[in-house]
Structure 1
């Protein structure tokens, strides 16, 4: 009776091989982004896996950029700054990377290079990866890292978990951002897919950062009015008294200044 012993010897990849892997991942990310822009928004799920491969490090695994020594540079952030102030109160939720398209193809759409204020920042990777990009109506916060890893590790990118964290369920299944759209002013529909649109924008930021000749990209969903989803601020007293508190009835004008009744504007999210 014969037995055989097999030994596994790992051979480190050369820098040339790693660079080839980088080129392949960037090409894959770019092709998935193009497919998303044609309307196939589910391409954001494999995009999340590409992004994880490129940038996410753990104690047991090393990102492709780390292996190539490319994480020490600056990364493009297109996030609309949150800029909370002590004398301001946010009405509704905060979304840093998204617009809302109304019309026949209403929904969340990534800004790409059509930024509402035309401002971008170059950040160290840790600041970029941990920058807040969502705050929902339940005061839950999400960073780029949160969204990418939820989708890649748990929600269909590279794996599907039997259970998902409550705040992610609220964001993706229960409209915790609170935005609704209507084509007739009577029938309102919850917006979904914020996590997918944000991954598309994160992919755009990384492609712009890592490919010097990456072309300018414009918002593809131009079906109607583009509304920034960053949120609305109202000024309030730093120490409000009873007389400072204003109750807004559902049939009263919305305090955001839109001219609509509260129940037809921000009251729809509550």
Structure 2
């Protein structure tokens, strides 16, 4: 058989077996948004209860909501919700400090010792409103001695794509590895000796998730709440089925 004819048959067979695709309706995408925000809230609650390995699931949910590539689109982009303000609850990095700068975390000294916690709404500066691109690409970790700086996007994708979120990779980004291994660069003196304050990557993810939730959830609640409920009750979504899935947010 002619090789060109054989190749043509194989190509036609491949086309015929390729699964067909259909567009996902808007209301189904909005239901996915509600699910992803619920995942974010549950992982945040679990993290705060001491299950700090939830930072990996936080990263995966953030990737689904926020990350765009040439081959895939974030959920927010699919429903045209990336044009709103994104809130930064951390101080901007000055770029002049000689020591590591990590505004997404704070140090707490308590009865259980010294540990790092996410900054959340405890920053000394006021909340800042940024475009998504500026928020996503803003530097939130800097170690001048190691000449390393990381933005929110790099931290989220390193965890989601390579450090156990959705995949475990045999190699990880050098900058992220430095964040994990050297972190804040602080050593606490305890009865047991010197202890390196670690888990900066975990509390940083927790803080980024907080910022994302506080940025997205109010807009989602407004968007979903003002339309008619899909159950056909004649009520607005927020006063009907939306009460079960999308309560209006409370701000700290």
Q: Residue 249 of structure 1 corresponds to which residue in structure 2?
A: none
Q: Residue 92 of structure 1 corresponds to which residue in structure 2?
A: 99
Q: Residue 54 of structure 1 corresponds to which residue in structure 2?
A: 65
Offset from partner CA, 1:89-120 (integer Å, 9 cap, x none): 52311012110122314322112222233x11
- How high is the TM-score relative to the length of structure 1? 0.72
Paired residue secondary structure (2:54): helix
Q: Is residue 2:250 matched to residue 1:215?
A: yes
- Output the CA distance in 2 between the equivalents of 1:67 and 1:94: 35
Paired residue secondary structure (2:190): coil
Residue correspondence of structure 1 range 28-177 to structure 2 within 5 A: 28-84=39-95, 89-103=96-110, 104-117=112-125, 119-136=126-143, 137-173=145-181, 175-177=182-184
Q: CA deviation at 1:196?
A: 1.1
Is the contact made by 1:41 and 1:196 (CA closer than 8 Å) also made in structure 2?
A: yes
- Output the CA distance in 2 between the equivalents of 1:178 and 1:20: 42
Q: Residue 197 of structure 2 corresponds to which residue in structure 1?
A: 191
Unaligned runs of 5+ in 1: 218-270
Is the contact made by 1:135 and 1:177 (CA closer than 8 Å) also made in structure 2?
A: no
Offset from partner CA, 1:56-93 (integer Å, 9 cap, x none): 00000000000000001110111212234xxxx52311
Unaligned runs of 5+ in 2: 1-12, 219-247
- Output the CA distance in 1 between the equivalents of 2:213 and 2:249: 7
- Output the CA distance in 2 between the equivalents of 1:177 and 1:139: 14
- Output the CA distance in 1 between the equivalents of 2:208 and 2:250: 15
180, 190, 194: which is aligned to 2:187?
Answer: 180
Offset from partner CA, 1:161-186 (integer Å, 9 cap, x none): 0111222222202x1531112234x7
Is the contact made by 1:138 and 1:176 (CA closer than 8 Å) also made in structure 2?
A: no
RMSD after superposition: 1.9
Offset from partner CA, 1:150-205 (integer Å, 9 cap, x none): 000000110000111222222202x1531112234x71111111111111111111
- Output the CA distance in 1 between the equivalents of 2:142 and 2:131: 22
Q: 1:22 to 1:105 in 2, by over 3 A?
A: farther
Paired residue secondary structure (1:211): helix
- Output the CA distance in 2 between the equivalents of 1:83 and 1:166: 22
Residue correspondence of structure 1 range 12-27 to structure 2 within 5 A: 12-27=23-38
Q: CA deviation at 1:138?
A: 1.1
- How high is the TM-score relative to the length of structure 2? 0.77
Bigger fraction of residues in helix: 2
Is the contact made by 1:92 and 1:177 (CA closer than 8 Å) also made in structure 2?
A: no
Paired residue secondary structure (1:95): coil
